[in-house]
């Protein structure tokens, strides 16, 4: 490592820019995909890349379906008659669903199979039983809708965190309405379901043609091969999006400043992508704009900077595991490895084109609220006060070193679509992905 890079790493320990950047991005109103705040976030990220010394910093636009949240109402109609606070889930259509409440527990496929949800309103928790892989919201919703549910209610599993949000699909309006409610409301609905109560669920929302934006720049030598580094700059409209993913995009912008000082063996394309929260649309647009056969690896920073210790999803790549272990050993920093494939973040559009993938997340304190699940994310409580700026700086350093290490490899073996599909099947993803409509058709 050249002296300039060592100096930059040393200075990062006291750099106040990451906190200032996080402050600016969380001050923006409504960074939801396709809305004005997301465009302003892309401009802010572009400025951050230029400050880092990256070249060709620019904004790339793409078309998408823009969902706008209106009002939502939930009422138990018999017995008794009472209303509850609720919010619509992204890509829920406007609609009016009526029917008997049915509690499907965690919303696992087997739990839904055991209940008759046809013509009824399914009620599912945001969490998953211990010992099981985390079942994504889209899987639960998709499976309930496929079983004939008239509506879907997603209740938080953590006290005091209010209703959760989160997209129901990858970018398309759904057929039935879905809403989020608090754990406290969920407890009532579970009891009312046991009594055979009926409910009415009304959503006023709109999906229109829209435009989203990616911020893109380049670092390092102008080689044919490149490493792509992405973090999503959008968030849900109900909160500041400080943890998800204000921390992640801050880590990338701060890491870009370090990478500009490092001796890189391969070009690094850095991007702040839009519309992750409503279907990975920005990373899909970015992947489709590139020749993915020349992308050595993708590094997806979604979740890094939130908590103290880094966690790395290596997506069944032994070489990526080696990269993480090497940097962890050299820096004496713990990085927990998670090796299985998952499709629910911005690495997925690249991975399904056989690009090796590394996702940088962080380890939540298991004694903290909502340790299994998103914690404060996707709720009104995802605010800047939850962030420790030390984590931003340190994870930016680790991210830069990991990217530099990936770039130094002559070759990172590419996974086959067959091996990716096999890994997903082995870990029970296929049924849920098919229900959510995200299992690639070309794999059949």
Residues 6+ apart with CB under 8 A from 377: 243, 244
pLDDT at 231 over 50: yes
- Ramachandran angles phi, psi of 84, nearest 5°: -135, 150
Residues 6+ apart with CB under 8 A from 194: 103
CATH classification at residue 128: 3.50.30.30
Say yes or no: 149 and 89 in one domain. yes
Say yes or no: 233 and 370 in one domain. yes
What's the confidence (pLDDT) of residue 272?
98
Half-sphere exposure of residue 63: CA atoms within 13 angstroms, side-chain side: 2
Q: Tell whether the torsion through CA atoms of 135, 138, 141 and 142 is positive or negative.
A: negative
Collapse the DSSP code of 24 into the 3-class scheme (helix H, G, I; strand E, B; otherwise coil) and give the result: helix
Q: What band does 422 get if pLDDT is binned at 50, 70 and 90? A: very high
Say yes or no: 16 and 114 in one domain. no
Number of other residues whose CB lies within 10 A of the CB of residue 42: 26
Residue 422: inside a domain, yes or no? yes
Say yes or no: 322 and 308 in one domain. yes
Cα–Cα distances in angstroms (integers) from residue 107 to residues 113, 117, 154, 165, in the given order? 10, 11, 9, 16
Q: Of 181, 260, 230, which is closest to residue 45 (Cα–Cα)?
A: 230
In 42-162, the DSSP E strands lie at 55-78, 82-84, 87-88, 95-103, 121-125, 151-155
- Ramachandran angles phi, psi of 32, nearest 5°: -60, 145
Number of other residues whose CB lies within 10 A of the CB of residue 128: 18
Only one residue has tokens 């911020």, namely 215
Say yes or no: 74 and 58 in one domain. no
Cα separation, 281 vs 255, in Å, equals 24
Say yes or no: 203 and 214 in one domain. no
Residue 434: inside a domain, yes or no? no
Largest CA distance in the chain: 72
Say yes or no: 194 and 273 in one domain. no
Structure-block tokens of residue 54: 């990256």
The number of domains in the chain is 2
Cα separation, 310 vs 305, in Å, equals 8
| CA angle 274–402–367, rounded 5-degree value | 75
Domain boundary among 183, 207, 231: 207
Q: Among 5-9, 210-214, 215-219, 383-387, which stretch is predicted with the lowest mean pLDDT?
A: 5-9
The mean per-residue pLDDT over the stretch 426-438 comes to 93
Say yes or no: 191 and 98 in one domain. yes
What's the confidence (pLDDT) of residue 365?
66
For the stretch 355-413, pLDDT in tens is 999 999 999 765 554 444 667 899 999 999 999 999 999 999 999 999 999 999 999 99
Domain range for 8 is 3-65+210-426
Residue 271: inside a domain, yes or no? yes
Say yes or no: 274 and 350 in one domain. yes
CATH classification at residue 278: 3.40.630.10
What's the confidence (pLDDT) of residue 376?
86
The mean per-residue pLDDT over the stretch 223-239 comes to 97
For the stretch 269-295, pLDDT in tens is 999 999 999 999 999 999 999 999 999
Say yes or no: 167 and 261 in one domain. no
Say yes or no: 223 and 202 in one domain. no
Collapse the DSSP code of 283 into the 3-class scheme (helix H, G, I; strand E, B; otherwise coil) and give the result: helix
Residue 333: inside a domain, yes or no? yes
Say yes or no: 355 and 398 in one domain. yes
Q: For residue 172, what is the DSSP state?
A: S
Residue 443: inside a domain, yes or no? no
Residue 409: inside a domain, yes or no? yes
Residue 152: inside a domain, yes or no? yes
Only one residue has tokens 């040393």, namely 10
Helix 247-259, helix 36-52: angle, nearest 10: 20
């Amino acid at each position: 490592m050249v002296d300039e890079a060592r100096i930059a790493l040393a200075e990062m320990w006291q750099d106040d820019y990451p906190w200032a950047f996080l402050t600016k991005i969380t001050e923006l109103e409504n960074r939801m995909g396709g809305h004005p705040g997301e465009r302003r976030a892309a401009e802010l990220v572009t400025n951050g890349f230029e400050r880092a010394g990256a070249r060709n910093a620019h904004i790339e636009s793409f078309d998408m379906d823009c969902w706008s949240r209106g009002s939502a109402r939930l009422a138990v109609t018999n017995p008794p008659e009472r209303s509850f606070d609720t919010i619509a889930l992204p890509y829920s259509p406007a609609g009016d669903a009526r029917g008997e409440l049915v509690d499907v527990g965690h919303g696992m496929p087997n739990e839904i199979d055991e209940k008759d949800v046809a013509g009824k309103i399914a009620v599912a928790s945001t969490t998953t039983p211990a010992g099981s892989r985390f079942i994504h919201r889209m899987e639960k919703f998709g499976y309930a809708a496929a079983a004939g549910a008239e509506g879907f209610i997603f209740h938080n599993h953590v006290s005091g965190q209010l209703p959760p949000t989160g997209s129901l699909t990858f970018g398309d309006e759904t057929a039935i309405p879905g809403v989020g409610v608090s754990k406290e409301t969920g407890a009532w609905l579970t009891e009312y379901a046991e009594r055979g109560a009926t409910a009415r669920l009304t959503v006023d929302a709109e999906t229109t043609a829209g435009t989203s934006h990616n911020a893109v720049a380049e670092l390092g030598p102008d080689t044919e091969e490149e490493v792509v580094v992405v973090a999503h700059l959008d968030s849900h409209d109900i909160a500041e999006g400080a943890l998800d993913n204000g921390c992640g995009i801050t880590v990338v912008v701060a890491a870009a400043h370090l990478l500009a000082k490092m001796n890189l063996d391969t070009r690094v394309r850095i991007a702040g992508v839009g519309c992750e929260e409503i279907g990975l649309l920005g990373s899909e647009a970015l992947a489709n704009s590139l020749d993915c056969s020349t992308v050595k690896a993708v590094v997806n920073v979604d979740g890094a900077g939130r908590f103290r210790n880094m966690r790395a999803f290596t997506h069944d790549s032994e070489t990526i595991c080696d990269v993480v272990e090497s940097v962890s050993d050299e820096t004496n920093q713990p990085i927990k490895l998670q090796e299985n494939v998952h499709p629910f973040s911005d690495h997925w559009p690249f991975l399904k084109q056989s690009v090796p993938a590394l996702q940088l997340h962080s380890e939540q304190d298991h004694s903290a609220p909502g340790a299994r699940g998103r914690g404060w994310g996707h709720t009104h409580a995802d605010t800047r006060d939850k962030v420790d700026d030390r984590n931003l700086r340190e994870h930016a350093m680790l991210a830069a070193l990991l990217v530099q290490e990936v770039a130094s490899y002559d070759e990172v073996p590419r996974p086959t679509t067959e091996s990716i599909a096999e890994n997903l099947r082995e870990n029970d993803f296929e049924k849920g992905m098919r229900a959510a409509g995200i299992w690639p058709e070309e794999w059949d």
